[in-house]
Structure 1
Amino acid sequence: MQYNFDQVVSRRDTHCVKWDFSKKQCEGKYIIPMSIADMDFETVPEVKKAIIQRANQGIYGYTKVNEGYYESIMNWMMKRHSWELKKDWIVVSSGVVPAINNIIKAFTHPGDKVILQSPVYYPFYKAIVRNGCAIVDNPLKFVQGKYYMDFKDLEHKLKHPRVKLLILCSPHNPVGRVWTGEELRKLGEMCIKNNVLIVSDEIHSDLVYKNYKHIPLAAISNDIRENSIICTAPSKTFNLAGLQVSNIIIPKDKLRREYIIQLENAAALSINLFGMIACETAYKYGEGWLDQLIDYLYENKEVVKKYVGERIPKLKIIEPEGTYLLWIDCRELGMNGMELKDFMLTRAKIQFNEGFTFGKSGEGFERMNIACPRDVLREALGRIEEAVNNL
């Protein structure tokens, strides 16, 4: 079956954060939001059908996941990532960000430290601070247009006795790196050596471009598996974020028990009915849709690279290996973070995620969401070109 990702579906007046709660108009012209990480595409048709069918039943009482739900996750992970899971490892959650908050609460005490690798997904910072911990930054190295882990700096910071967790973003948001097996093994072994638990956010793991392969951290070795918590969800893959469902995979029994106790204390052990249905259905029937989506996203990426390279040379695209997010180096424009934000919003009429929100090393960058129909993408590029080249 062929899917039409060129179709423009209006999201205005649908309680949509990206389209309804962003700045709507600027000097009479609608802003194009390319910020929040959801997609402007309809989801897998079978998912839509399954939700409608269940909604028509008309009773929305208390529910619980069944065997089919767990089987769909295990089958998906084996088929897409060659990772064999056990049902008992899977703990449902309303989302990866709530899960990370509960993980921090379960495995740290106020005053403990948590390592991040900036520039990185900004809710991580809030999760650490709101749970009374201190952020330890292990910034990625930016070398000739590509980001790498700084293992020398990491080795030093892991030794602090109050460092209890490291939050890994794999694939990395916003820089788009898909970490290699060698990088993951080195990171995992260093954390084991220093008794630091790894929380791996792998929510973008299904969105990887050709010639790259996502490797689940817990699949690297048995030792690393026992020292890791893997956060997964169908939300980025199939555009289901509003249904609030994720699956947290914890192979080690002791860690899983401690995490579940925290969920019980927070009364957070259930998930949304329609999220449950969507997750199982997407993993069962969504593979063909996803394969075509990745091809479409790849072409969107190439369109942006070509357009920017030829017509907006002051901007530099950091080549993504995964995700539908582009990390754009705008430092040649000579603006600080707030000036760049104001420029893009008022002059280009585009809303991005500002680079400085991902950490100090993101200053002068913008994160662009390219999961939209190509006509919308071209309109946005034209606006950016006009604004930048008229400086």
Structure 2
Amino acid sequence: MLISRTVFDQVIERKQTASAKWDAVDQLFQGEDLLPMWVADMDFRAPQPVIDALKERVEHGVFGYPVHSPSVDAAVKHWVKRHYDWEIRESDIVYTSGVVPTISYIIEAFTAVGDEIVIQTPVYYPFYQLVNNNERTLVKNPLRFDGETYTMDLEHLSSVISEKTKMLILCNPHNPVGRVWRKEELEKIAELCVKHDLLLVSDEIHADLVFEGKKHIPIASLSAEVASRTFTCLAPSKTFNLAGLQTSYCVIHNDKYKTRLQKYLKKRFMGMSNSFAELVTEVAYNQGDEWLLALRKYVWDNYLYVKDTLETSMPRLSVLEPEGTYLLWIDCSRLGLTASERKKWLVDEAKVAMNHGEIFGVEGQSFERMNIACPRVTVEEAMRRLKRAYDALTFDS
């Protein structure tokens, strides 16, 4: 059944629903009447089959301790095969309550205090906290930016790996720059990890959100050798707007590593899912394909609208063409404002809340991250506000 774009055009009131995106925005950004275009949280209803399944479970009325169902494993296995042509075993899957907590568990279970962990910046800002809060040593491998796109600097990566380096955290598709790493890029980084005996933690939470002409390749699918050192973190949460239900999983082909992580979770009594998490995973993966196809098209059209609006009426701002995610990376380097001045301008003048690029690392200080997974009218309002503030600026000729 084809999903109409009117499903995504629907404006849903989210204020006063305990929404971090909408109810906390003014306080977090220290402004008033801000339009939230920030955190990676969609303003769309989940697919109807997911909502129907939740209603049925709620109507049952009993929410006791759940037990894992093998049908969830089957749904996950078929999803990754169908979408990424990746063969996994049901026994490779470890269910968790979120990708970020999962990465923290892996860091704690497989590295020691003081060990070096590499991240590729600018990158999803919790990566910094995960390394630092666990008292590991952060090693940065900045991406190369040529003014239009980002690539990996593998020569630099090779130079910063030492005998103390134990792990690399990969972000694919990359948040915030929107790259979907190609096979040859993944092969090169995997080769370095094998050469230096590094564990590879791959955050692939945006794997389903890739645009036409692009293909997500799980790095663990490259070879058995790569798979044996890789922890692939996935979830239906970004794909189907289910983050609040805290559902995710980690695919681990190495049985020794899988057992070690399971023991870590069991020791801390973190092995049980909530009553809704596995339900929504199974239903979304079994019945969400058409919805996802329509979502990608809608988000891409929103990107084209933003791109055209900036080019025609705000030429000192430019947006990188995304290969994946629903997050735009907007280059503000020609705006003539410092990062702190731009932050104040967006909040006080434009009344738009975006994620300021500097939180992703110093390499992102000239950028803003904009979430366009929302109805077109919301994107249009954001552009109107931005244009009004832009027109009030004075530029040197």
* RMSD of equivalent CA atoms: 1.5
Amino-acid identity (%) = 43
Q: Is the 8 A contact 2:29 2:353 kept in 1?
A: no
What's the counterpart of residue 233 of structure 2? 231
What's the counterpart of residue 47 of structure 2? 44
Deviations 1:85-118 (A, max 9, x none): 1011000000000000001001111111100000
For structure 2, the residue ranges without an aligned partner over 5 or more in a row are none
Deviations 1:244-288 (A, max 9, x none): 000100110111112112212322112221121111100000000
Q: Is the 8 A contact 1:114 1:167 kept in 2?
A: yes
Shift of 1:334: 2.5
Shift of 1:143: 1.2
Q: Is the 8 A contact 2:41 2:373 kept in 1?
A: yes
Q: Is the 8 A contact 2:31 2:347 kept in 1?
A: no
Q: Is the 8 A contact 2:125 2:361 kept in 1?
A: yes
Structure-to-structure mapping, 1:112-191, within 5 angstroms:
112-158=115-161, 160-191=162-193
Whole-Å separation in 2 of the counterparts to 1:324 and 1:278: 21
* Equivalent residue letter for 1:200: S
* Equivalent residue letter for 1:208: V
Structure-to-structure mapping, 1:187-206, within 5 angstroms:
187-206=189-208
TM-score normalised by L of structure 2: 0.96
Deviations 1:124-180 (A, max 9, x none): 11010111101100000001310000000011122x011111000000000000000
Q: Is the 8 A contact 2:31 2:348 kept in 1?
A: no
Whole-Å separation in 1 of the counterparts to 2:274 and 2:349: 40
Q: Is the 8 A contact 2:355 2:370 kept in 1?
A: yes
What's the counterpart of residue 64 of structure 1? 67
Whole-Å separation in 1 of the counterparts to 2:171 and 2:286: 26
Whole-Å separation in 2 of the counterparts to 1:257 and 1:130: 24
Cα 1:389/1:192, change in 2 over 3 Å: same
User: Do structure 1's residue 6 and structure 2's residue 30 form an aligned pair?
Assistant: no
SS of alignment partner, residue 350 of structure 2? coil
Structure-to-structure mapping, 1:78-93, within 5 angstroms:
78-93=81-96
Q: Is the 8 A contact 1:24 1:30 kept in 2?
A: no
Shift of 1:28: 10
Shift of 1:26: 10
* Equivalent residue letter for 2:251: I
Structure-to-structure mapping, 1:223-262, within 5 angstroms:
223-262=225-264
SS of alignment partner, residue 161 of structure 1? coil
* Equivalent residue letter for 1:261: K
Whole-Å separation in 1 of the counterparts to 2:70 and 2:182: 33
Whole-Å separation in 2 of the counterparts to 1:26 and 1:212: 34
Q: Is the 8 A contact 1:26 1:346 kept in 2?
A: no
Shift of 1:336: 2.6
TM-score normalised by L of structure 1: 0.97
What's the counterpart of residue 361 of structure 1? 363
Cα 1:28/1:114, change in 2 over 3 Å: closer
Deviations 1:181-218 (A, max 9, x none): 00001100111100111100000000000111000111
User: Do structure 1's residue 383 and structure 2's residue 381 form an aligned pair?
Assistant: no
Q: Is the 8 A contact 1:335 1:364 kept in 2?
A: no
Whole-Å separation in 2 of the counterparts to 1:165 and 1:357: 22
Moved more, 336-345 or 144-153: 336-345
Deviations 1:64-100 (A, max 9, x none): 2201100000010111110111011000000000000
Whole-Å separation in 1 of the counterparts to 2:103 and 2:142: 20
Whole-Å separation in 2 of the counterparts to 1:236 and 1:48: 16
* Equivalent residue letter for 1:211: G
Cα 1:263/1:330, change in 2 over 3 Å: same
Pick aligned residue for 2:103 from 100, 105, 111: 100
Whole-Å separation in 2 of the counterparts to 1:268 and 1:21: 28
User: Do structure 1's residue 319 and structure 2's residue 321 form an aligned pair?
Assistant: yes
SS of alignment partner, residue 319 of structure 2? strand
Whole-Å separation in 2 of the counterparts to 1:235 and 1:390: 39
Shift of 1:27: 12
SS of alignment partner, residue 326 of structure 1? strand
Cα 1:143/1:11, change in 2 over 3 Å: same
Deviations 1:33-78 (A, max 9, x none): 0111010000100000000100111110100220110000001011
Shift of 1:29: 6.3
Moved more, 264-273 or 213-222: 264-273
Cα 1:386/1:224, change in 2 over 3 Å: same
Cα 1:25/1:268, change in 2 over 3 Å: closer
* Equivalent residue letter for 1:349: K
> How many residues are paired up?
390
For structure 1, the residue ranges without an aligned partner over 5 or more in a row are none
What's the counterpart of residue 219 of structure 2? 217
